Amino acid sequence: MSWEKGEQLYEGKAKRIFSVKGKNDVLWQDFKDQLTAFNAQKVEQLSGKGLLNCKITTLIFKYMQGNGVPTHFVESIGETALITKKLDMIALEVVVRNVLAGSTAKKFGIEEGKPLEKPLVEFYYKNDSLGDPFMSDDQALMLKLASPKEISDIKILALKVNDLLSELFKACDIRLVDFKIEIGRDASGHILLGDEISPDSCRLWDMKTSEKMDKDRFRRDLGQVKEMYQEVWNRLQKNWSQYV
């Protein structure tokens, strides 16, 4: 199918969103080379990052769809863009953790790297001006971000994504420490996995060396950011060629 890019609707930290001419139910999403951290206080351009995240997201979303997870993915357009269904996004960042790291480890004074007995699902309010604060289920209901049924369905979906993603990365000798997803409603009100899944939105540790292969390399000035994103892509491509 051929798609014609329309007007820019939104520019975010990692993507630009465009309309598609003559189509009301889809969006054109361009992946940017920009890296940001700490609520965009730290910003850098990394040539080729958008391309890698677009390829990684595409493979992961095809894999999710192939395994029964409904997603917004429609088609890849060139190397840095996707056509997706247009969703009514739920203003939640849904984080799933298998190993304690980052904000939750810090909050409870626990050393990074503690494996959890069962995966932890957390909600953050997606609101840049408030710094994406943690929120409870009841707070999400209070703000009417989602219905009680949707909250329950979102958690089930997040845990299914976690199982599938853990398996996907395990085959690549990568440990899935944690990740963030975003969810939205399609025109019939069904909840779908939206946005992206990439080394920008996951913590990925090499199973053999424990080396970080994700955005923490940028957050913590560890260097070799692009090389590690490339390595994640190389391993995914090699082990999951059916989804390339």
Site of interaction with ligand UDP (CB under 6 A): 93, 95, 102-104, 132, 178-180, 201-203, 215
Exactly one of 3, 6, 17, 120 binds ligand ADP (CB under 6 A); which one? 17
- On whether the CB atoms of residues 238 and 211 are closer than 8 A, the answer is no
3-state helix, strand, coil in the chain (%, to 5): 30, 35, 30
Q: Calculate the dihedral angle through the C-alpha atoms of 143, 126, 243, 75, rounding to the nearest 10 degrees.
A: 80
In the structure encoding, which two tokens stand for residue 39, read together? 């609520």
> d(Cα 226, Cα 244) in Å, to the nearest integer?
20
In the structure encoding, which two tokens stand for residue 183, read together? 């969810």
Exactly one of 61, 63, 64, 72 binds ligand ADP (CB under 6 A); which one? 72
Residue 87 interacts with which of ligand ADP, ligand UDP, none, CB < 5 to 8 Å by class: ligand ADP
Exactly one of 58, 80, 84, 166 binds ligand ADP (CB under 6 A); which one? 84
| Closer of 132 and 153 to ligand UDP (Cβ) | 132
Q: What x-and-dash track marks residues 162-201 binding ligand ADP by CB under 6 A?
A: --------------------x-x---------xx------
Residue 70 interacts with which of ligand UDP, ligand ADP, none, CB < 5 to 8 Å by class: none
Least distance in angstroms from the C-beta of 103 to ligand UDP: 4
| Closer of 178 and 182 to ligand ADP (Cβ) | 182
> d(Cα 154, Cα 14) in Å, to the nearest integer?
24
3-state SS, residue 55? helix
Residue 203 interacts with which of ligand ADP, ligand UDP, none, CB < 5 to 8 Å by class: ligand UDP
Residue 179 interacts with which of ligand UDP, ligand ADP, none, CB < 5 to 8 Å by class: ligand UDP
Residue 202 interacts with which of ligand ADP, ligand UDP, none, CB < 5 to 8 Å by class: ligand UDP
Contact call for residue 70 and ligand ADP (CB under 6 A): no
Question: Angle, to 10 degrees, between the axis of helix 148-170 and the axis of helix 49-66?
Answer: 110
- On whether the CB atoms of residues 171 and 191 are closer than 8 A, the answer is no
Alpha helices in the chain (DSSP H): 49-66, 102-107, 137-142, 148-170, 216-219, 225-239
Least distance in angstroms from the C-beta of 73 to ligand ADP: 9
| Closer of 180 and 235 to ligand ADP (Cβ) | 180
Residue 221 burial class via C-beta count within 10 angstroms: exposed 0-12, middle 13-18, buried 19 and up: exposed
**Binding positions for ligand ADP, rule: CB under 6 A:** 12-15, 17, 27, 72, 84-87, 89, 182, 184, 194-195
